[in-house]
């Protein structure tokens, strides 16, 4: 049976990643009034588009009010904030003002990307303590490749696979090395590579037989970049001998150390990292992380820059069963394709794993012949029940002790990294 997993934020929570409410609180804690003013003072003086295309400083007061709006209302979240800036860009007729909003948006996204990394580093002890509750993940995969399609930007699925000795494939058909520094061609990081135009099942190198994980990061991730004018996708390679911390350090090396220097000056530009290829030519690595409210268009026809959605559809069409874990069904482009897959692929069955409800209205038309089933629980409880067919009460008690410590850990992180 060909199985797939679709992962939302709930899958990663017990391993150390925040849910949207905590991430939003951390984000707006970082952008305090004082810090935001300092940033805007700096942004107003910059010339990101060149001296002939200046920033419009009068655009920024609107962003200050927007930050205050989201800081005050606990019902709002960071993705809504980014979406509002996207709408400002779309609806602004003055070019300089629109470009100023675009520049600020890129800065907010840079901060989010760094926050995603900080959670990995600061909360690694949570992963180490709680991975025991995910030990059945190895048994869930079974003896055939599992298709893992994740909406998360984190590396925790890679961590679990590394700790369990599960082979990982991102579908890369070739590889390339990038040096950490453009004057040192010994200290290298290896990447798997695909042409974006060929992100199709029959053109990619995924596992076809045997135990393993075929991974697709639908919304991008810390270990995934584009380069060569966005024509190619590159993944920081995973080595079979890696431990999770080894891999995290390699990803960090790319994020924080890799650079191209000219006359001693680094050419890094925010989330676009200037690097050297092995011919000494400058390339730009751009994170693929998608946030905000307009990650993909609302129509389902294939488009440039939406190649992952085509690949997602192809995978769904060939699966017999998909288990959806910790996903809130708030992404239109995902929900539409899930519905279409159930309509086209009559063999496809779905499990919904969610602590609030094991059902969703999206699948009501297909709720017959056991095509739609669910469990109202969190990820560790589901994995345990899947394997043992019972609820491990003692295990759940220990897990809840860790969960009860989470708010203190979150507050400590917020004070140390985001409020200071």
- Greater confidence, 77 or 392? 77
Per-residue confidence (pLDDT) for residue 388, from 0 to 100 = 87
The tokens 């060909």 sit on which residue? 2
Both ends of the chain: CA-CA distance in Å? 51
Q: How confident is the model at residue 194 (pLDDT cuts 50, 70, 90)?
A: very high
Q: Would you call 176 helix, strand, or coil by DSSP?
A: strand
Q: What is the mean pLDDT of the chain?
A: 94
* Spatial separation of the C-alpha atoms in residues 154 and 220, rounded to whole Å: 9
- Cα(121)–Cα(123) distance, rounded to whole angstroms? 6
23-79 pLDDT, tens digit per residue, is 999 999 999 999 999 999 999 888 888 888 888 889 999 999 999 999 999 999 999
Non-local (6+) Cβ contacts of 411 within 8 A are none
* pTM of the predicted model as reported, rounded to 2 decimal places: 0.95
Q: Where are the domains of the chain?
A: 21-122
Least confident span in 147-151, 355-359, 370-374: 355-359
pLDDT higher than 70, residue 385: yes
Quick: pLDDT tens for 168-181. Answer: 999 999 999 999 99
Gyration radius from the chain CA atoms: 22
Q: Which residue has the tokens 């930007």?
A: 153
Task: Report the alpha-carbon distance of residue 160 to residue 24 in Å, rounded.
Answer: 26
* 147 burial via Cβ count (<10 Å: 0-12, 13-18, 19+): buried
CB atoms within 10 A of CB 29: 16
């Amino acid at each position: 049976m060909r199985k797939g997993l679709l992962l939302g934020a709930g899958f990663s929570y017990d391993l150390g990643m925040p849910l949207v409410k905590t991430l939003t609180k951390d984000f707006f804690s970082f952008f305090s009034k004082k810090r935001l003013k300092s940033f805007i003072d700096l942004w107003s003086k910059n010339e990101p588009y060149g001296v002939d295309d200046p920033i419009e400083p009068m655009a920024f007061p609107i962003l200050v009010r927007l930050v205050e709006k989201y800081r005050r209302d606990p019902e709002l979240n960071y993705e809504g904030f980014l979406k509002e800036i996207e709408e400002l860009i779309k609806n602004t007729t003055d070019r300089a003002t629109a470009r100023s909003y675009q520049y600020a948006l890129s800065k907010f996204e840079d901060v989010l990307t760094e926050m995603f990394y900080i959670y990995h580093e600061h909360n690694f002890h949570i992963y180490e303590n709680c991975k025991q509750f995910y030990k059945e993940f190895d048994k869930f995969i079974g003896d055939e490749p599992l298709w893992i399609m994740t909406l998360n930007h984190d590396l925790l699925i890679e961590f679990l696979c590394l700790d369990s000795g599960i082979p990982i494939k991102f579908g890369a058909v070739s590889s390339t090395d990038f040096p950490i520094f453009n004057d040192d061609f010994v200290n290298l990081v290896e990447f798997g590579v695909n042409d974006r135009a060929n992100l199709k099942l029959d053109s990619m190198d995924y596992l076809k037989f045997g135990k393993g994980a075929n991974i697709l990061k639908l919304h991008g991730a810390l270990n995934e970049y584009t380069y060569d004018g966005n024509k190619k996708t590159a993944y920081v390679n995973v080595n079979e001998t890696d431990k999770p911390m080894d891999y995290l350090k390699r990803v960090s090396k790319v994020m924080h150390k890799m650079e191209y220097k000219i006359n001693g000056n680094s050419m890094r530009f925010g989330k676009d990292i200037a690097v050297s290829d092995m011919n000494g030519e400058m390339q730009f690595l751009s994170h693929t992380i998608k946030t905000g409210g307009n990650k993909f268009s609302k129509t389902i026809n294939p488009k440039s820059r939406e190649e992952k959605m085509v690949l997602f559809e192809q995978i769904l069409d060939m699966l017999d069963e998909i288990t959806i874990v910790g996903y809130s069904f708030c992404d239109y482009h995902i929900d539409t394709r899930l519905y279409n897959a159930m309509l086209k692929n009559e063999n496809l069955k779905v499990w919904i794993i969610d602590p609030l409800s094991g059902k969703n209205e999206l699948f009501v038309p297909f709720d017959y012949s056991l095509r739609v089933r669910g469990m109202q629980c969190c990820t560790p409880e589901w994995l345990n029940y899947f394997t043992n067919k019972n609820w491990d009460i003692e295990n759940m008690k220990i897990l809840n002790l860790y969960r009860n410590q989470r708010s203190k850990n979150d507050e400590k992180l917020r004070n140390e990294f985001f409020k200071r």
